[in-house]
Amino acid sequence: MARFVAKHLVFLLLTLFVVSFLVFALNEFSPGAVARKELGAYATQEQVDLLTKQMGLDRPVLVRYVDYLAALASGDLGYSARFKLPVKDVIFKHLANTALLAAIAFAADHLEGVHRLSSSCTAFRLRPARRRGPLRRRRPRS
């Protein structure tokens, strides 16, 4: 069992690594400069160069990827360009609603499962399993 869990954990980590690299690469090689997108079309080249240096986009790609993984491992998810907030705050803001929705779906799914089980038992005229052992009811001998 330990070997099974270890094997699946290795595959999980490998999958997470590959997906994170693909997402990072797609963001890296998307058309347009990140600093230019952040500042807008009317920013001067000096402003774009300054933001590029501040964001560390002038460093090599692999160095930035290793820094990205180190930040993820320490719990720093970065800064959301869309919401202008740390990503952690954006996620935790919506986490309560997500957990509530998941709990409702879980409860509804289990209620439906119990209903279907009882319906199938009635349809096939299944009886509960017989009791065995010292607590079973004894029939009188004739």
What pLDDT band is residue 12 in, cutting at 50, 70 and 90? very high
Percentage of the chain lying above the pLDDT 90 cut: 39
Report if residue 88 sits inside a domain: yes
* Angstrom distance (rounded) from CA 115 to CA 3: 38
pLDDT mean over 134-141 = 61
Q: Total structural domains in the chain?
A: 1
133 within domain boundaries: no
Answer yes or no: is 14 within a domain. Answer: no
Domain containing residue 115? 80-125
Do 12 and 4 touch, CB atoms closer than 8 A?
Answer: no
Look at residue 103 and tell me if it is in a domain.
yes
> For the chain, what percent of residues have pLDDT higher than 70?
85
The residue type at 2: A
Q: Which two tokens stand for residue 124?
A: 């096939």
Q: Is residue 12 part of a domain?
A: no
* Residue 95 domain-assigned (yes or no): yes
Please indicate, yes or no, if residue 101 is contained in any of the structural domains: yes
For tokens 């094997």, name the residue: 7
Q: Is residue 75 part of a domain?
A: no
Best-predicted range by mean pLDDT (57-61, 120-124, 132-136): 57-61
